Structure 1
Amino acid sequence: MQIYKVGGAVRDRLLGKPVTDIDWVVVGATTEEMLAKGFRPVGADFPVFLHPKSGEEYALARTERKSGRGYGGFTFHASPEVTLEEDLIRRDLTINAMAEDDQHHLTDPYQGQKDLEARLLRHVSPAFAEDPLRVLRVARFAARYADLGFTVAPETLELMRQLSESGELQALTAERSWKEISRALLEDQPQVFIEVLRECGALKVLMPEVDALFGVPQPQAHHPEIDTGVHTLSVLEQAALYKQPLTVRWACLLHDLGKGLTPEEEWPRHIAHEQKGLKLIKAVNERFKAPRDCQELALLVGQYHTHGHRALELKPSTLLELLQSFDIYRRPQRFEEFIAACEMDARGRKGLEQRSYPQADYLRGAAKAARSVAVQPLLEKGFKGPELGEAIKRERLKALKAYKEMASI
C-alpha cells in the first residue's frame, strides 16, 4: 500500500499558496485493507474513506470510463492493480495531476510543474472532453489564478469550445453548476470566469441572458465603457475588490439583464430596463437553483438599482416605498447589501472607479430615520389593525420628510 498527496494540495504548495484541503490517493490497496486499518467508507460510487483520526479523505486509485451524458455519466474501476499514473491521467488539468509521497518526492507524469511555471491551464488527456463540468472548473481556475498570470492553453480552450457546442453542458445538474459558479464568483477576479466562459462559447449556453449584454451600447455620458457586457464585468470586478459577499456578486452579475432586451432602434437608451429584466433574472435564478437570499437580492437590485443611484432626488414617498420593498425593519442586512450592489454598479464604469457614492450614506440615514418611528405611542392612542399600519406609514413619511430637509441643508 502506497499513499500519496494529490491534486490541489500539491499544486498550491508548489505555487507557494496556503494549502487548506488535502486529498490523498491510495495505490495497491483493497477496500478490505482500508477497513482493517480503521478507515470509514463514505463513497457511494467509488471507494473513498475517511481517516480514523484526521477525518481527511483517502480514495483508492481508480480509472474511469464514459458511460453516459453529463458529469455523472462515468463508470469507475478501483483495484490494487491501478497505478498512480493511471489515476492521475483521469484528472482535469496537468497542474492538478501531480502527486507527492511523504518524503515530498514529486510524481509528475504529465508535466504539471512545467505548466505551473509557464502559467498554463492545460488538460491532461483528450478524456477531458468527456466531462462537461470541466468547462466551468477551468474557467474557475482561470479566475483564481489570474493574478498570477495564468491563462487557458489554446488546445484546452478548443476542447472547451467543442464541449460547449456538443450539448453536453445541458446535462449538468443545477446543483453542480451552481457549486462551480458560486465558488468562481467568490474568487479574487470573478470577471475572468465570465470572460473564459464567453471565449469558449459556454456563456451563451449556460447564461444566454448575460451573453446577450455584450455588444449592447449604453449612453457614453453615464457609461464611458459603453458596452453593457464590459460594464457588467467591471461591476463584478469592483464587487470582488471590495470583498462583497456572494449575494452581492450574484446581483451585480444579473442587475442589467433587461438591457439585453432593448430593441436596437432604441439604443443606447434602455427605458424601463429594470422592470423588463426581472423575468430574465428570475429565469437565471431558477435555472441554477440559486439560494433564496441570492435570488431575492438579485431581483431587488435589478428592479431598484436606478432608485439607489437617484436616492438624493427621490421624493419621501418614493423613498418610503423603496424601504418597504426591502423590509428594512426585519431584514436590515438585505438593504445594506442592496446599497453595496448599487455602489459597485456606480464604480464599475471606466475611469469612474474612485468616484464617491454619497447615495450610500444617504440611504442608510433614510433607513435609520424610518426605523426610528416608535410604534408604542400609536398603540397607546388606540390605533390597531389596518389603521395602525396607516398611522405607522404616516409617521415614517413624516420622519423621511424631516430627514430629507435636514440632508439638503
Structure 2
Amino acid sequence: MQIFKVGGAVRDRLLGLPVTDIDWVVVGATADEMLAKGYRPVGADFPVFLHPKTGEEYALARTERKSGRGYGGFTFHASPEVTLEEDLIRRDLTINAMAEDDQQNLTDPYHGQRDLEARILRHVSPAFAEDPLRVLRVARFAARYAGLGFTVAPETLELMRQLSESGELQALTAERSWKEISRALMEDQPQVFIQVLRDCGALKELMPEVDALFGVPQPEAHHPEIDSGIHTLSVLGQSALHQQPLTVRWACLLHDLGKGLTPKEEWPRHIAHEHTGLKLIKAVNERFKAPKDCQELALLMGQYHTHGHRALELKASTLLELLQSFDVYRRPQRFEEFIVACEMDARGRKGLEQRSYPQADYLRGAASVARGVAVQPLLEKGFKGPELGEALKRERLKALKAYKENR
C-alpha cells in the first residue's frame, strides 16, 4: 500500500499558495484492507474512505470509463493493480494531475509542473471531453488564477467548444451546475469565468440570457464601455474587488438581462428593461435552482436598480414604496445588499470605477428614518388592524418628506 497527496494540495503548494483541502490516493490496496485499518467508507459510486483520525478523504486508485451522458455517466474500476499514473490520467488538468509522497517527491507524468510555470490550464488527455462539468471547472480555475497570469490552452478551449456544441452540457443537473457557478462567482475574478464560458460557446448553452447582452449597445453618455455584456463583466468584477457576498454577485450578473430583449430599432436606449428582464432573471434562477436569497435579490435588483441610481430624485412616496418592496423593517440586510449591488453597477463603467456614489448613504438614511417611526404612539391612539398599517404608512411618509427636505 502506497499513499500519495494529489491534486489541488500539490498544485497550490507548488504555487506557494495556502493549502486548505488535502486529497489522498491509495495505490495497491483493497477496500477490505482500508476497513481493517479503521478507515470509514463513504460514497456509493467509488471507494472513498475517511481517515480514522483526521477525517480526510482517501480514495483507492481507480480508472474510469464513459458509460452515459453527463457528469455521472461513468463506470469506475478500483483495484490494487491500478497504478498512480492510471489514476492521474483521468483527472481534468495537468496542474491537477500531480502527486507527491510523504517526502514531497513529485510524480508528474503529464507535465503539470511545466504548465504551472508557463501559467497554462491544459487538459490531461482526450478523455477530458467526456465530462461536461469540466467546462465549468476549467472556467472556474481560469477565474481563480487569472491574477497569476493563467490562461486556457487553445487546444483545451477547443475541446471545451466541442463539448458545448455536443449538447452534453444540457445533461448537467441544476445542483452540479450551481455548485460550480457559485464557487466560480466567489473567485477573485469571476468575470473571467463568464468570459471563458463565452469564448468556448458554453455561455450560450447555459445562460443564453447573459450571452445575449454582448453586442447590445447602451448610451455612451451613461456607459462609456457601450456594450451591455462588457458592462455586466465589469459590474461582476467590481463586486469581487469589493468582496461582496454571493447574493450580490449573482444579482450583479443578472441585473441587466432585459437589455438583451430590446428591439434593435430602439438601441441604444432600453426603456423598461427593468421589467422586461424579470422573466429572464426568474428563468435563470429556476434553471440552476439558485438559493432563495440569491433569487430574491436578483429579482429585486433587476426591477429596482434604476430606482437606486435615481434615489436622490425620487419622491418621498416612491422612496417609501421602494422600502416597502424590500421589507426593510424585517429584512434590513437584503436592502443593504441591494444598495451595494447598485453601487457595483455604477462603478462597473469604463473610467467611472472610482466615482463616488452618494445614493448609497442617502438610501441607508431613508431606511433608517422609516424604521425609526414608532408604532407605540399609534397603538395608544387606538389604531389597530388595517387602520394601524395605514397610519404607520402616513407617519413614515411624513418622516421621509422631512428627511428629503433636510438633506
The whole-number CA distance in structure 2 between the counterparts of 1:116 and 1:43 is: 32
Q: Which residue of 1 aligns with 2:238?
A: 238
The whole-number CA distance in structure 2 between the counterparts of 1:64 and 1:241 is: 39
SS in 1 for 2:64: strand
The whole-number CA distance in structure 1 between the counterparts of 2:219 and 2:108 is: 52
SS in 1 for 2:215: coil
> What displacement does 1:40 show?
0.2
The whole-number CA distance in structure 2 between the counterparts of 1:99 and 1:13 is: 11
Per-residue deviation, residues 302-347 of structure 1 (Å, max 9, x unmatched): 0000000000000000000000000000000000000000000000
Per-residue deviation, residues 240-299 of structure 1 (Å, max 9, x unmatched): 000000000000000000000000000000000000000000000000000000000000
> What displacement does 1:134 show?
0.1
The whole-number CA distance in structure 2 between the counterparts of 1:86 and 1:2 is: 14
Per-residue deviation, residues 49-104 of structure 1 (Å, max 9, x unmatched): 00000000000000000000000000000000000000000000000000000000
Q: Which residue of 1 aligns with 2:38?
A: 38
The whole-number CA distance in structure 2 between the counterparts of 1:66 and 1:340 is: 45
The whole-number CA distance in structure 1 between the counterparts of 2:179 and 2:44 is: 20
> What displacement does 1:370 show?
0.2
Per-residue deviation, residues 127-184 of structure 1 (Å, max 9, x unmatched): 0000000000000000000000000000000000000000000000000000000000
> What displacement does 1:373 show?
0.4
The whole-number CA distance in structure 2 between the counterparts of 1:372 and 1:11 is: 53
SS in 2 for 1:59: strand
Q: Which residue of 2 aligns with 1:394?
A: 394
The whole-number CA distance in structure 2 between the counterparts of 1:104 and 1:269 is: 59
Q: Which residue of 2 aligns with 1:160?
A: 160
The whole-number CA distance in structure 2 between the counterparts of 1:155 and 1:310 is: 47
> What displacement does 1:43 show?
1.9
Q: Which residue of 2 aligns with 1:47?
A: 47
The whole-number CA distance in structure 2 between the counterparts of 1:333 and 1:372 is: 16
SS in 2 for 1:145: helix
Unpaired segments ≥5 residues, structure 2: none
> What displacement does 1:124 show?
0.2
The whole-number CA distance in structure 1 between the counterparts of 2:187 and 2:45 is: 30
The whole-number CA distance in structure 2 between the counterparts of 1:285 and 1:180 is: 15
1:250 aligned to 2:250? Answer: yes
Q: Map residues 195-344 of structure 1 onto 2, 5 A cutoff.
A: 195-344=195-344
> What displacement does 1:201 show?
0.1
Per-residue deviation, residues 199-218 of structure 1 (Å, max 9, x unmatched): 00000000000000000000
TM-score (norm 1): 0.99
Number of paired residues?
Answer: 405
The whole-number CA distance in structure 1 between the counterparts of 2:43 and 2:380 is: 63
The whole-number CA distance in structure 2 between the counterparts of 1:66 and 1:40 is: 28
The whole-number CA distance in structure 2 between the counterparts of 1:334 and 1:200 is: 35
Per-residue deviation, residues 192-244 of structure 1 (Å, max 9, x unmatched): 00000000000000000000000000000000000000000000000000000
Q: Structure 1: which 4+ aligned runs deviate by more than 6 Å?
A: none
SS in 2 for 1:25: strand
Q: Which residue of 2 aligns with 1:121?
A: 121
SS in 2 for 1:24: strand
Sequence identity (%): 91
Per-residue deviation, residues 348-398 of structure 1 (Å, max 9, x unmatched): 000000000000000000000000100011001000010000000000000
Per-residue deviation, residues 12-43 of structure 1 (Å, max 9, x unmatched): 00000000000000000000000000000002
The whole-number CA distance in structure 1 between the counterparts of 2:187 and 2:31 is: 37
CA RMSD of aligned residues (A): 0.3
The whole-number CA distance in structure 1 between the counterparts of 2:308 and 2:154 is: 42
SS in 2 for 1:58: strand
The whole-number CA distance in structure 2 between the counterparts of 1:148 and 1:370 is: 47
Unpaired segments ≥5 residues, structure 1: none
The whole-number CA distance in structure 2 between the counterparts of 1:16 and 1:66 is: 35
